[in-house]
Amino acid sequence: MEPNNSFTITILNDRIVIWRSEPGQLHGLQDRCDHRLAPLSLGRCEGERLRCMYHGLLFEPDGRVVEIPV
């Protein structure tokens, strides 16, 4: 299962999640959450951002975490 507007590819044994944000740009990150390594490909696109659905960290397209739910 993958979030809307996204897919995964493997490059040199690294899984990459690629998603198209609502403005239409393509973004890519390693398909591994910084928190507990859950696949971000199971996440949800929120505007340009991607949310990990395990504990809810929200990632900018450059990989920065901008929200940590309490």
Q: By CB under 6 A, name the binding residues for ligand FES.
A: 33, 35-36, 38, 52, 54-57
* Closest approach of ligand FES to the CB of residue 42, in Å: 9
| Tokens of residue 59, six digits | 């990632």
DSSP 61: T
* Closest approach of ligand FES to the CB of residue 41, in Å: 12
Residue 66, CA atoms < 13 Å, CB-side half-sphere: 12
> Looking at this protein, which amino acid is placed at residue 53?
M
* Closest approach of ligand FES to the CB of residue 24, in Å: 26
Three-class secondary structure of residue 40 per DSSP: helix
